[in-house]
Amino acid sequence: MSNIFKTPEESRVVISMLMLPSHANFSGKIHGGHILSLIDQIAFACASKHSNNYCVTASVDVVDFLAPIEVGEMVTLKATVNYVGNTSMVVGIRVDAEDIKSGTKKHCNSSYVTMVAKDDEGKTIAVPGLKLSSDTHIRRFAREIRRKSIKRNSSKEMKATNFNAEEFVELLKDYNVELG
């Protein structure tokens, strides 16, 4: 446990960038992979700012694409440390897009990325604690505890489920597959 604590605001990172044709697919929508790359970059910046160390991505838990992003829109990513463990941090990221001409804004993505702090030798290193000074901070931290519990239980359930061939066939009857 660290004796140093930081508020989420101390490591908050916000970036905005114009979406260019080089970021788009053939239908003029921005590639999801490009947005994922930006999410990973801002998660790194936020976690590194919180930990004062180099950080690596351990997992990307939730990536919900809620609305397409068009070429010419201004995309803003906001990253905040929502949870800290001993050596890891969960960074919450919100992605919004704005039509520059009309000023219309839309929420396009929310993501949660687990980052791990590393020392110069590549070993995990303790991170500062998180100072929760508002209801929003407490809610985000508590939600992350719950999300981690759900993920852990889901993983245990999948490992414990031992499908045999007959169970698979029965399970697949309700899906758009052809067994051959």
Note the pLDDT tens digit of each residue in 96-151: 999 999 999 999 999 999 999 999 999 999 999 999 999 999 999 999 999 999 98
**In the chain, % of residues over pLDDT 70:** 98
pLDDT tens-place string over residues 138-153:
999 999 999 999 988 9
Question: What is the pLDDT at residue 53?
Answer: 97
Question: What is the pLDDT at residue 69?
Answer: 97
* Helical (H) or strand (E) element with 39: helix 32-51
CB atoms within 10 A of CB 71: 15
Q: Which residues is 124 bridged to in the sheet?
A: 118
Residues 6+ apart with CB under 8 A from 63: 36, 39, 109, 111
Q: Which residues is 60 bridged to in the sheet?
A: 113
This model's pTM is above 0.85: yes
Structural domain boundaries of the chain? 5-134
Listed residue (34, 77, 39, 80) closest to 61, CA to CA:
39
Rg value, the chain, Cα = 20
Query: Which range has the worst mean pLDDT, 8-17, 79-88, 157-166?
Result: 157-166
DSSP 58-109: EEEEEEEE-S--BTTPEEEEEEEEEEE-SSEEEEEEEEEEE-TTT--EEEEE
Listed residue (108, 93, 96, 17) closest to 57, CA to CA:
93
Both tokens of residue 45?
């910046």
Both tokens of residue 100?
């520059």
Q: How many whole angstroms separate alpha carbon 141 and alpha carbon 12?
A: 15
pLDDT above 60 (res 1):
no
Look up the CATH number of domain 5-134: 3.10.129.10
Pairing between β-strand 5-6 and β-strand 13-18 as defined by DSSP bridges: unpaired
